[in-house]
Amino acid sequence: MKKNSVPSYENEVPFYNTDDEENYFPGYIVVLPDVPIAEQRNEDHISTGDYVNVPEPEATLLDPCFGPPLELWLGFNRWLLWLPTRSGSSRRRAACRRRRRKRAEHTHRKPSAMEGSPTAPSKEAYRAAMVLSGAGDALGYRNQRWEYCTSGPQIHQELQEMGGLGKIQAALPDWPISDDTVLHLATAEALATGKDGVPLFQELAQCYVDAMTDMEGRKPGPTSILGTSQLRLGEPSGYLIPFNPKATGCGAAMRSMCIGLRYPRPSDLHLLIQVSIESGRMTHHHPTGYLGALASALFTAYAVQGLPLERWGVGLLKTLPLALEYVRAAAVESEANMGAWNYFPEKWEWYLSERGLANGQGPARFPPAYGPAGRDVIYKTFSLDGWAGGVATMPP
């Protein structure tokens, strides 16, 4: 493979060496006992911000129904203890767990060998990916105050007045997670069922509807609210909603990172495309919206593979034609989707050119002075309605 080329999707080296690939799966794929968060906290459900001293539950080996290296999401209650959630999250996760247990005996698929990077990521890395995602969300949300602040300098000034990042303890009541993490966990819970195809899409729809019952004190976007209200649970195609010309926001991208953890291998690319697009357009049925979900999932998979950051954008552009083929083949309001398709790739092509990354080589090129105020100016050039971050084309 050339040093700066985007990886091909065949002939990769497996993650693991084993003499019995048919029956092998990583030993760290475990499920921790189901103990609702509400039962593990104080009565007021306020997190201490520290999960190090929480007693370690006894792990139980899971049947090999998931492809490695995913640390199964069923153990999230242990690892996300410190996150500022509310008891509604526990009830929602409990409902998803009951559905999983009911169907688990019908799900037994042998995993294929891992491909991509020569070494598998550790389970600690997978834990960190999910936990830090929620932590970053809680910090950026700041109980609605910072998510809806359009001034980067003001946010940084307030942060300094608080003593800097090191002085913040992300705990309730001041630092709850937003709707983004609630829906991200819903995506993970659906993926943890081991389903694929239409059954997985139906499970995603169910988990998203369940998650919308846990939005007290959070601020779900109007597009997510509308989209979940249009899902028809129990119907064969009930996960499909109408095309929405205004569904260009980042709500689908915010909940899709774990799709890249579930499908990290180059050989999984077709599944990553399928699941990210279908999950994304359950609320954001517009290419700008659901291609943001694809980008989030794909970049997470690149991180698992250890792909240099400078090559991620070019990799996305090379993946978009495959995504276009999938959308055409799915034949769901094709004309409307094709008519709105070009904005997303064109903005990414422009951004990569601006940063000197159009050929997948670095280092990235930034202005000499690039502080919070300068970033606000740049972000607004590829945002809608002048709100930096309010559109799914937002590059990392």
Say if CB 24 and CB 112 are below 8 A apart: no
Which residues carry a binding-site annotation?
178-180
pLDDT at 331 over 50: yes
Of 136, 147, 145, nearest to 170 by C-alpha is: 136
Cis geometry, peptide bond prior to residue 363 (ω within 30 degrees of 0): yes
pLDDT at 317 over 60: yes
Report d(CA 300, CA 375) in Å as an integer.
Answer: 23
Length of the chain: 396
Which residues carry a binding-site annotation for Mg(2+)?
178-180
Paired tokens of 24? 């092998």
Question: What pLDDT, in 10s, does the model give residues 333-359?
Answer: 999 999 999 999 999 999 999 999 999
Say if CB 232 and CB 273 are below 8 A apart: no
Tokens 């459900």 belong to 45
Domain 24-143+168-381 sits in CATH 1.10.4080.10: yes
Paired tokens of 255? 């909940």
**38-42, 227-231, 294-298: least confident range:** 38-42
Position 52 scores a pLDDT of 32
Report d(CA 317, CA 82) in Å as an integer.
Answer: 37
List the chain domain ranges.
24-143+168-381
- Residues 4-10 have a mean pLDDT of 37
Q: Which residue has the higher pLDDT, 181 or 79?
A: 181
Query: What are the angstrom distances between the C-alpha of 98 and each of 94, 198, 378?
Result: 6, 20, 46
Beta bridge partner(s), residue 13: 116
DSSP 8-state symbol, 66: S
Question: What pLDDT, in 10s, does the model give residues 55-107?
Answer: 333 333 323 233 333 333 333 333 333 334 444 555 555 665 565 555 544 44
Position 217 scores a pLDDT of 84
- Residues 218-225 have a mean pLDDT of 92
Q: Which residue has the higher pLDDT, 34 or 152?
A: 152
DSSP letters spanning 84-131: ---HHHHHHHHHHHHHHHHHHTT---PPPPPEESSSPPPHHHHHHHHH
Question: What pLDDT, in 10s, does the model give residues 34-59?
Answer: 333 233 233 333 333 332 333 333 33
Of 336, 73, 43, 325, nearest to 188 by C-alpha is: 73
